Chain A
Amino acid sequence: MYLNLLNLWPYLAGILFIYLYLKFQYRELAKEILWATLRTSIQLILLAFALEQIFKSQLFITSLAISLIMTINSSGQIVRRSKRKILNLFWISLISNIFAIWPLAALFSMDLSLGSWTEPQRILPLLGMLLGNTLSGVSIGISNFMENFGEKKNEVITMMALGATIEEASHRFFYRALKAGINPQINSMISMGIISIPGMMAGQLISNINAMDASILQIKMMLSICIGTLISIIIALKFVRKSLFLSTGELCS
């Protein structure tokens, strides 16, 4: 069963060739490429082993438990990527992921496999795709907001002094952060099909699935990612903004 793994050898040989070529002049880069190759291969093989076991179960509780582990990991990743220390960022990310991505993954799974949407094999791949794609949007959004807020605090003070509410005082930063977070997604939606064919669709085309079906599924995926990214950035930014002010309305010192 695992003889399939041997099929990887030409690809690994290619990387090895590049490693040997780069090793003398760009030693560091060569090492990084080799390390990344090992990581991606081992991680995906381990994932396959894990998924085989998980997919044996058809229980909703298994889906729920694995979803929680994936979401916790994704929130941890957002915290690691953040350059600034933000109070409760882990919980902010977790809540925004659960409220934005989980319902979307559930709806998407219902659409694709109505009767068995709660099974791990149906819902987990969709949740993984959504979480992975929204992660960078949320990270970029939060960093952009914090950077602007830190650098242009006087702008916030001026607006507050004029009698602006917290929302009014930070409106411009909120908009900029939302735009920075969603822009990569918008760009990828615009270039879709003209410049790029995404991995998921390419995989389906190669597996001889009807091109129109593959396209429709890809459209559903792109729109879900866009909605998920937007909702999670908005939820996360609202919580981050709240954490910068006291409940009595003053700026946190």
Chain B
Amino acid sequence: MLVVKDMKLLNEKIVNFEARPGELVFIKGKNGSGKSLFLKSLAKIIPSTFREVSLNGFVTSDFTPEVWRSKLLYLPSEVCFSELETVHEFLNVPFRLNCYKDFIPSFDPLRHLQNCHERMDILSSGQKQRVALLRALSLNAEVLLIDECFSQIDSTTREWFMDLFKKFQNEGKIILMVSHFEIQTGHFATREFFI
């Protein structure tokens, strides 16, 4: 259960929010309303003040910022990678970090990629977003904070990802997603939240 009480964002907006395990919530709102600020504040990437932010009963101060961020994984729309980095190297970046030292991924993104030896910079924008999404899914975070990561992805792949998300929802993961697309998700534990 993710609980946010009286979170004051950098744009002075105050947000109260709750999500149950397995929920997929679309964060909606006008441009500049603070959707991305909300996701980044939740992941403790930018500062905010709040009365309570907790995940399954644990508050933010129970963890180091790094461990908190690995539990609530924020995925920005712009895909950043190093010069000359291959897809394979890009997927392995997190495993060089301290907080994933002994981590065994439960989901292998390579099963869904054929171009793992290609360089990231020659992939199309949509392909880059696809690889970044798969990398995020492989990290086994409890909450995924997806910030307009479907902007360059074609509708077929989008549907494929939505199906994949269902599997993660079944495992009790929470997904918060900012998307300007009207995504047909059926009736599967989804709702909208307006900022």
Q: Which residues of A contact B (CB under 8 A)?
A: 152, 154-155, 157-165, 168, 172, 246, 248-253
Known: A159-B97, A161-B73, A163-B94; 15 extra A-B contacts, CB below 8 A, are A154-B80, A158-B76, A158-B80, A159-B93, A160-B43, A161-B76, A162-B70, A162-B93, A162-B139, A163-B100, A165-B98, A248-B47, A249-B66, A251-B47, A253-B46
Residue contact A161 to B43, C-beta cutoff 8 Å: yes
User: Could you say which residues of chain B place their CB within 8 Å of the CB of A165?
Assistant: 66, 97-98
Residue contact A162 to B73, C-beta cutoff 8 Å: yes
**Beta-carbon contacts of B35-50 to A below 8 Å, as 1s and 0s?**
0000010011111000
A164 to B93 CA separation, bound complex (whole angstroms): 10
- Number of B residues near A (Cβ < 8 Å) is 28
B164 on the A face (CB < 8 A): no
User: Could you say which residues of chain A place their CB within 8 Å of the CB of B93?
Assistant: 159, 162
B105 on the A face (CB < 8 A): no
- CB contact between A163 and one of B46, B67, B78, B80 (< 8 Å): that residue: B67
B7 to chain A, nearest CB (A): 13
- CB contact between A250 and one of B65, B78, B97 (< 8 Å): that residue: B65
A229 to chain B, nearest CB (A): 26
**Given A248-B44, A248-B47, CB of A160 within 8 Å of CB of B98:** no
A250 to B64 CA separation, bound complex (whole angstroms): 11
A154 to B128 CA separation, bound complex (whole angstroms): 15
- CB contact between B98 and one of A168, A172, A249 (< 8 Å): that residue: A168
User: Could you say which residues of chain A place their CB within 8 Å of the CB of B98?
Assistant: 165, 168
User: Could you say which residues of chain A place their CB within 8 Å of the CB of B82?
Assistant: 172
User: Could you say which residues of chain A place their CB within 8 Å of the CB of B99?
Assistant: 163-164
CB-CB nearest in chain A for B103: A163
**Given A154-B76, A172-B82, CB of A163 within 8 Å of CB of B47:** no
- CB contact between B76 and one of A157, A164, A168 (< 8 Å): that residue: A157
User: Could you say which residues of chain B place their CB within 8 Å of the CB of A158?
Assistant: 76, 79-80
Residue contact A250 to B45, C-beta cutoff 8 Å: yes
A248 to B53 CA separation, bound complex (whole angstroms): 14
Residue contact A157 to B94, C-beta cutoff 8 Å: no
Can you list 15 pairs linking A and B with CB atoms under 8 Å apart?
A158-B79, A158-B80, A161-B45, A161-B73, A162-B70, A162-B94, A163-B66, A163-B94, A172-B82, A248-B44, A249-B64, A249-B66, A250-B44, A250-B47, A251-B47
A155 to chain B, nearest CB (A): 4
Residue contact B76 to A163, C-beta cutoff 8 Å: no
Residue contact A246 to B47, C-beta cutoff 8 Å: yes
B75 on the A face (CB < 8 A): yes
A152 to B67 CA separation, bound complex (whole angstroms): 23
A127 to chain B, nearest CB (A): 40
B91 to chain A, nearest CB (A): 11
**Given A158-B80, A164-B66, A248-B65, CB of A253 within 8 Å of CB of B44:** no
User: Could you say which residues of chain B place their CB within 8 Å of the CB of A162?
Assistant: 69-70, 73, 93-94, 97, 139
**Given A249-B65, A251-B46, CB of A157 within 8 Å of CB of B70:** no
A253 to B41 CA separation, bound complex (whole angstroms): 11
B26 on the A face (CB < 8 A): no
Residue among A152, A160, A165 with the most chain B CB within 10 A? A160
CB-CB nearest in chain B for A164: B97
Residue among A172, A249, A251 with the most chain B CB within 10 A? A249
A158 to B93 CA separation, bound complex (whole angstroms): 11
Top-8 shortest CB links A-B:
A249-B65, A163-B70, A161-B74, A163-B99, A158-B80, A250-B47, A155-B80, A162-B94
